[in-house]
Structures are given as structure tokens and as C-alpha cells.
């Protein structure tokens, strides 16, 4: 799933993570192993893109990071190449 940084409504693609499909509006990443009760909560939502050549908008489901969240806590985190 793609990961976007949400900065006052402006969404910037920062990478991707292996967040399983079928999650609700929140994904909880355990911080100290799979049985940990201490979790970091990530918002899941939609991002809409307008195609460059015109046409219907494209909507995709994604992880929406707040400014103070660390994407490294997401499973399978892969930042965009510079």
C-alpha cells in the first residue's frame, strides 16, 4: 500500500508499506513484536489523482501519515528512491 504524508490536506507520496488489505480506517502496528499491546496507530484513507491526459479521477487506498509519525514502524517500509 502506498504511504502519503498528510500536511494540512496536501498529500505527498513518501513510500510504500506492506499493510494488509481488508483493514478498516485504522492500522495498528505493534511496537514490540506481534503480541505487543503497545501499538502505533496509522490512519488509512483514500487519495484521489487526476490523470495527466484527462479522464476520470483515480482513487486509491493508502496510509496517511501525520507530520510526527515514523513510517519506519510500518511493516515492509520502503521509502521512495531519491
Q: Give the pTM.
A: 0.86
Domain boundaries, the chain: 2-79
Q: What is the pLDDT along the chain (82 residues), one digit of tens a residue?
A: 999 998 888 899 999 999 988 888 999 999 888 888 999 999 999 999 888 888 899 999 999 999 999 999 999 999 998 6
d(CA 56, CA 23) in angstroms, rounded, equals 26
Q: Output the pLDDT for position 20.
A: 87
Contacting residues for 75 by C-beta, under 8 A, at least 6 apart: 17, 18, 19, 29
Q: Output the pLDDT for position 21.
A: 84
d(CA 51, CA 55) in angstroms, rounded, equals 6
Amino acid at each position: 500500500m502506498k504511504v502519503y504524508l498528510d500536511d494540512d490536506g496536501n498529500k505527498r507520496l513518501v513510500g510504500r508499506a506492506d499493510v494488509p488489505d481488508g483493514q478498516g480506517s485504522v492500522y495498528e502496528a505493534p511496537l514490540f513484536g506481534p503480541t505487543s499491546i503497545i501499538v502505533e496507530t496509522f490512519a488509512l484513507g483514500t487519495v484521489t489523482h487526476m490523470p495527466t491526459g484527462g479522464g476520470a479521477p483515480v482513487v486509491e487506498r493508502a496510509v496517511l501519515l501525520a507530520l510526527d509519525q515514523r513510517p519506519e514502524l510500518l511493516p515492509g517500509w520502503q521509502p521512495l528512491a531519491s
